[in-house]
Amino acid sequence: MTLEIHSASDFTIAEVISDITILENAEDGLDLMGNLYYQGYDKVIFHAKNITPEFFDLKTGLAGEVLQKFSTYRMRLAIVGDFSVYSSKSLRDFIYESNQGRQVNFVSTVSEAVAALSRP
């Protein structure tokens, strides 16, 4: 796992780059968040390909559990991926509602992620 750093205005955004799944359970999310926060980041980009598929099955509760932790600790998150591959209406609604706010955004590209995390 490496970090790609994106500078925007007066802050930096950490993009987590990995060839393996980095988020398989809520503890992984909390560990990643803690490590990134300790390094001085409060805005982070994950790639959907590095997140277990169970995250995108809302019935498991994993997405809610992980994203609640990010929200509680006020670490903004953008998840980059092709979410059209998921047919769940509840997931589509969840993504739509998340994208209306600023805490968690689901986007298609890294540049969209940086733009979303740059909004005040």
**Predicted pLDDT of residue 89:** 95
**Predicted pLDDT of residue 55:** 96
Q: Which fold has domain 2-118?
A: Transcription Regulator spoIIAA (3.30.750)
Boundaries of every domain in the chain? 2-118
- Write the single-letter amino acid at 60: T
Rounded CA separation 111/11 (Å)? 16
**Predicted pLDDT of residue 119:** 87
**Predicted pLDDT of residue 77:** 97
DSSP state of 108: S
| Each residue's pLDDT expressed in tens, for the chain with a length of 120 residues | 899 999 877 789 999 999 999 999 999 999 999 999 999 999 999 999 999 999 999 999 999 999 999 999 999 999 999 999 998 999 999 999 999 999 999 999 999 999 999 988
- Write the single-letter amino acid at 44: V
**Predicted pLDDT of residue 7:** 85
Q: Using only the alpha carbons of the chain, give its radius of gyration.
A: 13
Rounded CA separation 65/87 (Å)? 21
Angle formed by the axes of helices 62-72 and 26-38, to 10°? 20
